[in-house]
């Protein structure tokens, strides 16, 4: 018993020393010291995480964290103060701009259509077929020249900017709406993981996630392959700007301003390219 | 009976001597069948266990992938450059875990807007530091042309280190982490120990764009290394044979590059095995070739390096430490409270209706799915108490979750201490408190310890609670409010974000090993305690 007590005592002392050390570390003087919570789109997540990691080398005292509950939550979070910077992979709605959301574009991205590579032989589908699949009018691959199997449709959650962008460019153009029977996934990574492991499935994800999962392959839409050059010349139909959102203009001299400027700098845009998104200046 | 009779019993007599009735035969039969079923099921269980653990360990220890590259797997350690007298060798610091690199990677290493990270090539979070010899003259220009082919760049980037002799390049590469440089082959005769040669893969399969066209909703995506070899050997006459569209294949020579490139651009279905730089230079397409890559997945580096880039690079050292911190603090909070509660319930409380309700309550709590605790923790600790998503919220929530387990097992352990122990102690004049501390607790300690170890097991394996309360930051825990990740959560993130299957399995293997270690140490400790307490 004595032994246990002494062990406990030692642990307590160690823990308090640990906590004290932390406090000291936190109180070291620096302009940007503190914890910063950013959050929003899961598409933008890799850019922010990588940029934050690089940024930590310049300002180690600023601890930046990023949550990825989706674009809409990102905009809302930026407006209600949960996040000091929100991120979205869709354009802002008028109501959001009216509430004071200020967007800053940091990259371009396309949304690619992916299918399960082992079971779906097609490498190209037309826009009409894509709309029909996502509106729930075509439910079997044989109807569009594939094998006789039910199409497993994966869609993103309502908060997703990728979903809203995909919706605008596909089913909405034909004045239809998404099928209700699609299985819902909550992030781009989740999407490729599910499509890669589910036979006869179809889904969509940002270009940055192509090739992440060996079981998926991207298909071209109307013979236009999902490539950076096709986004830049405007031929690829599903594309968007990735934006950071602040509540009102960014205060001068704040970490938020410095961080946004860092992403817009040459170095930051190189990170955008590293994460397989399209830099603004390209 | 004589011995002869025993050895050769008369047949007729033997039949009569069978004493078993049909009833007992049936019983014996049942016995046999039951034994067989039990043995079979036991064997099946063991087989399943071995299979699961074996599969996890094999997948966790080794990786085995087919990775597409723009170039074929053919590696050159000494590169013959057109237009230079000397051959070219790339050297890197020994600390860089890279054997060979595709030529496009070299371009990025020397010519990106900022320092490249080796993580993109071998998942090692290490900044690349290129170095060149300023006074190399023509040789340098040729190499620059080779590395930067297709770019009209006049000079090296600002971060490229300049040395003034080949010896200086070698010593710089040897002494700088992540350094890369190049030398003429004649200078690379005997390199020091801390410098190694980096192989280069530069042969690409250049094709006419028609090969990669979509026809009947099908297209050629990639080739395996075997298929690429067959094409280069001239054994393929139609692209259909290697998974492409119906198009005759024309193999072109890579000598006399200008003429043949023109032919490549004008002939449908034409293919040429050539240096990758010409692909960019002439604006033709190349077919990705799969390379079979295999090796150790769970390495020392994986365990000891800090994670980076959402866990895609580096290792899991911080995450292992976070896991231990979570276990430590959970046990620190829950064990004293749980054991005291159990002591009260067994030794002091009146065994009445209240106790029955209390017992039922703890039992119900220990059966509640952890996600419900997660929800509670999120609402109560994170929101209402305003602790935020972080280490303290998650520790408290997990404490609540494991508390019932600890109370239940401690209670059982205390109850199983014979009443005579207490009576003996009291009879000798010890007070109740003395009896509990000096007699009952030591005797019950193996059982109490089992409960604590069960709690450790639950903590290690917990994911649902932590998603809501611990967040997903992969840094080291730096304070009570810092968001963090533990092993199980890291595994979930890697898997659900499709970051890396290999790393998911490696993390899984670490978890399995950790739990095996916990169990072994628990058994060991219990044995020792049993000996000491004399029970």
Handedness of CA B422, B428, B431, B434 (dihedral sign): negative
Q: What is the DSSP letter of B112?
A: S
**Nearest by CB: A124 against B66, B214, B496:** B214
**Nearest by CB: B217 against A49, A124, A274:** A124
* Contact residues, chain A, for B499 at CB < 8 Å: 189, 212
Element (H or E) spanning B386, and its range?
none
| B264-295 pLDDT per residue, tens | 888 888 999 988 888 878 888 899 999 999 99
Which residues 141-160 of A are in CB contact (within 8 Å) with B?
145
Handedness of CA A134, A137, A142, A143 (dihedral sign): negative
How far apart CA B284 and CA B273 sit, in angstroms, is 12
Please compute Rg for chain A using Cα positions: 22
* Residues in a beta bridge with A34: A62
User: What ranges do the domains of chain A cover?
Assistant: 28-108+241-274, 109-239
| Cβ contact A270–B437 (<8 Å) | no
In CATH, the architecture of A28-108+241-274 is 3-Layer(aba) Sandwich (3.40)
Handedness of CA A139, A143, A148, A154 (dihedral sign): negative
Query: Which is it for strands A201-206 and A152-156: parallel, antiparallel or unpaired?
Result: parallel
| Cβ contact A223–B214 (<8 Å) | yes
pLDDT given for residue B468 in this prediction: 83
Query: Which is it for strands B179-184 and B88-93: parallel, antiparallel or unpaired?
Result: antiparallel
| Residues A169 and A238: beta-carbon distance below 8 Å | yes
- Which residues lie closer than 8 Å to B94 by C-beta, 6 or more apart? B174, B193, B194, B195, B196
* Contact residues, chain B, for A212 at CB < 8 Å: 498-499
Q: pLDDT band at residue A28, thresholds of 50, 70 and 90?
A: very low
How far apart CA B507 and CA B494 sit, in angstroms, is 9
- Closest chain A residue to the Cα of B313, Cα to Cα: A50
pLDDT given for residue A11 in this prediction: 55
* Contact residues, chain B, for A113 at CB < 8 Å: none
How far apart CA B379 and CA B90 sit, in angstroms, is 57
Which backbone phi and psi does A214 adopt, to 5 degrees?
-65, -20
Burial B289-325 (b: 16+ CB within 10 A, else e): bbbeeeeebbeeebeebbbbbbbbbbbbbbbbebbeb
Matching residue, tokens 């520790």:
B395
pLDDT given for residue B10 in this prediction: 53
* B482 interfacial to chain A (CB closer than 8 Å): yes
- Average of per-residue pLDDT values in chain B: 87
- Which residues lie closer than 8 Å to A11 by C-beta, 6 or more apart? B328, B332
| Residues A134 and A151: beta-carbon distance below 8 Å | no
- For B325, the 3-state DSSP assignment is helix
| Residues B447 and B413: beta-carbon distance below 8 Å | yes
Mean pLDDT of A110-116: 93
To the nearest whole Å, the CA of A106 is away from the closest chain B CA by: 17
* A118 interfacial to chain B (CB closer than 8 Å): no
Confidence check: pLDDT of A15 > 70: no
Q: What is the ipTM of this complex?
A: 0.75
- Closest chain A residue to the Cα of B218, Cα to Cα: A123
CATH of domain A109-239: 3.40.190.10
* Contact residues, chain B, for A193 at CB < 8 Å: 495-498
- Which residues lie closer than 8 Å to A77 by C-beta, 6 or more apart? A39, A40, A67, A69, A83, A86
- Which residues lie closer than 8 Å to B65 by C-beta, 6 or more apart? A214, B292, B293, B294, B502
| A156-202 pLDDT per residue, tens | 988 888 999 999 999 999 999 999 999 999 888 889 989 999 999 99
Give pLDDT tens digits along chain B (535 positions): 445 555 555 555 545 566 678 888 999 999 999 999 999 999 999 999 999 999 999 999 999 888 889 899 999 999 888 767 788 999 999 999 999 999 889 988 888 878 889 999 999 999 999 998 888 878 888 888 777 665 555 677 888 888 999 999 999 999 999 999 999 988 888 889 999 999 999 999 999 988 888 877 778 888 998 999 999 888 888 998 888 888 889 898 878 888 888 888 888 889 999 888 888 788 888 999 999 999 998 999 999 999 988 888 999 999 999 999 999 999 999 999 999 999 999 999 888 888 889 889 988 998 899 999 999 998 999 889 988 888 999 999 999 999 999 999 999 999 999 999 999 999 999 999 999 999 999 999 888 988 898 889 889 988 889 988 887 788 888 888 888 889 999 998 888 777 888 999 999 999 999 888 888 877 887 777 666 655 4
* B437 interfacial to chain A (CB closer than 8 Å): yes
Concatenating the DSSP letter of every residue in A132-144 gives HHHTTS--BGGGG
- Closest chain B residue to the Cα of A17, Cα to Cα: B479
pLDDT given for residue B396 in this prediction: 95
Q: Count other Cβ atoms within 10 Å, centred on residue B395.
A: 26
Q: What is the DSSP letter of B475?
A: S
pLDDT given for residue A274 in this prediction: 87
pLDDT given for residue A183 in this prediction: 93
Handedness of CA B71, B74, B78, B84 (dihedral sign): negative
CA-wise closest residue to B503 among B316, B321, B320: B316
pLDDT given for residue A23 in this prediction: 43
pLDDT given for residue A20 in this prediction: 44
* B337 interfacial to chain A (CB closer than 8 Å): no
């Amino acid at each position: 018993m004595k032994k246990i007590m002494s062990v406990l005592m030692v642990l307590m002392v160690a823990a308090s020393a640990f906590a004290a050390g932390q406090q000291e570390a936190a109180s070291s003087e620096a302009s940007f010291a503190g914890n910063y919570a950013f959050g929003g789109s899961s598409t933008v997540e890799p850019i922010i995480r990588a940029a934050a990691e690089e940024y930590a080398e310049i300002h180690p005292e600023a601890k930046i964290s990023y949550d990825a509950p989706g674009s809409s939550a990102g905009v809302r979070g930026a407006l209600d103060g949960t996040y000091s910077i929100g991120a979205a992979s869709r354009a802002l709605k008028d109501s959001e701009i009216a509430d004071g959301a200020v967007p800053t574009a940091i990259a371009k991205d396309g949304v690619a259509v992916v299918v399960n590579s082992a079971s779906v032989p097609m490498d190209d589908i037309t826009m009409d077929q894509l709309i029909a699949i996502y509106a729930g009018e075509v439910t079997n691959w044989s109807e569009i020249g594939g094998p006789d199997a039910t199409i497993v449709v994966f869609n993103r959650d309502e908060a997703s900017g990728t979903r809203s962008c995909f919706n605008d460019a596909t089913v909405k153009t034909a004045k239809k709406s998404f099928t209700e029977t699609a299985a819902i996934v909550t992030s781009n990574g989740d999407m490729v993981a599910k499509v890669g492991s589910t036979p006869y499935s179809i889904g969509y994800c940002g270009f940055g996630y192509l090739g992440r999962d060996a079981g998926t392959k991207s298909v071209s839409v109307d013979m236009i392959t999902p490539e950076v050059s096709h986004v830049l010349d405007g031929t690829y139909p599903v594309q968007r700007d990735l934006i950071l959102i602040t509540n009102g203009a960014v205060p001068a001299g704040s970490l938020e301003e410095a961080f946004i400027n860092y992403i817009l700098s040459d170095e930051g845009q190189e990170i955008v390219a590293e994460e397989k998104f399209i830099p603004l200046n390209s | 009976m004589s011995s002869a009779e025993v050895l050769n019993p008369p047949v007729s007599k033997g039949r009569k001597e069978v004493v078993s009735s049909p009833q007992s035969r049936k019983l014996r039969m049942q016995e046999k069948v039951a034994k067989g079923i039990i043995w079979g099921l036991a064997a099946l269980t063991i087989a399943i266990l071995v299979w699961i653990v074996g599969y996890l360990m094999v997948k966790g220890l080794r990786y085995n992938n087919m990775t597409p590259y723009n170039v074929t797997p053919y590696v050159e350690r000494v590169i013959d450059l057109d237009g230079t007298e000397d051959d070219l060798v790339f050297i890197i610091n020994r600390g860089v875990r890279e054997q060979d690199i595709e030529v496009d990677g070299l371009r990025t290493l020397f010519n990106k807007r900022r320092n490249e990270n080796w993580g993109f090539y071998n998942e090692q979070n290490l900044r690349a530091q290129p170095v060149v010899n300023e006074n190399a003259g023509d040789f340098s220009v040729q190499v620059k042309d080779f590395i930067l082919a297709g770019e009209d760049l006049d000079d090296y980037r600002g971060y490229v280190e300049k040395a003034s002799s080949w010896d200086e390049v070698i010593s710089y590469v040897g002494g700088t982490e992540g350094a890369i440089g190049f030398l003429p082959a004649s200078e690379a005769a005997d390199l020091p120990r801390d410098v190694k040669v980096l192989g280069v893969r530069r042969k690409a399969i250049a094709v006419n764009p028609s090969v990669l066209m979509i026809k009947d909703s099908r297209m050629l995506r990639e080739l395996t290394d075997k298929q690429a070899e067959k094409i280069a050997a001239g054994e393929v006459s139609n692209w259909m044979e290697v998974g492409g569209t119906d198009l005759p294949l024309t193999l072109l020579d890579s000598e006399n590059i200008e003429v043949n490139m023109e032919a490549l651009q004008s002939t449908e279905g034409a293919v040429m095995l050539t240096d990758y730089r010409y692909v960019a230079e002439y604006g033709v397409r190349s077919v990705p070739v799969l390379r079979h890559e295999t090796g150790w997945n769970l390495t020392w580096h994986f365990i000891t390096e800090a994670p980076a880039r959402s866990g895609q690079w580096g290792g899991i050292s911080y995450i292992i430490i976070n896991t231990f911190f979570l276990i430590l603090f959970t046990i620190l909070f829950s064990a004293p409270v749980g054991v005291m509660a159990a002591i009260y319930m067994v030794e002091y409380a009146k065994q009445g209706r209240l106790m029955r309700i209390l017992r039922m309550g703890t039992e119900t709590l220990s059966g509640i799915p952890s996600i419900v605790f997660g929800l509670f923790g999120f609402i109560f600790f994170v929101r209402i108490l305003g602790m935020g998503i972080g280490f303290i919220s998650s520790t408290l929530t997990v404490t609540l979750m494991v508390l019932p387990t600890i109370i239940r097992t401690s209670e059982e352990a205390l109850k199983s201490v014979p009443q005579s122990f207490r009576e003996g102690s009291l009879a000798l004049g010890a007070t109740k408190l003395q009896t509990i501390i000096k007699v009952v607790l030591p005797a019950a300690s193996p059982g109490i310890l089992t409960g604590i170890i069960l709690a450790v097991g639950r903590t290690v394996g917990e994911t649902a609670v932590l998603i809501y309360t611990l967040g997903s930051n992969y840094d080291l825990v730096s304070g009570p409010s810092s968001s963090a990740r533990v092993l199980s959560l890291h595994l979930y993130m890697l898997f659900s974000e499709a970051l890396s299957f290999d790393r998911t399995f490696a993390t899984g293997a670490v978890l399995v090993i950790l739990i095996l270690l916990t169990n072994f140490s628990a058994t060991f400790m219990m044995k020792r305690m049993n000996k000491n307490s004399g029970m």
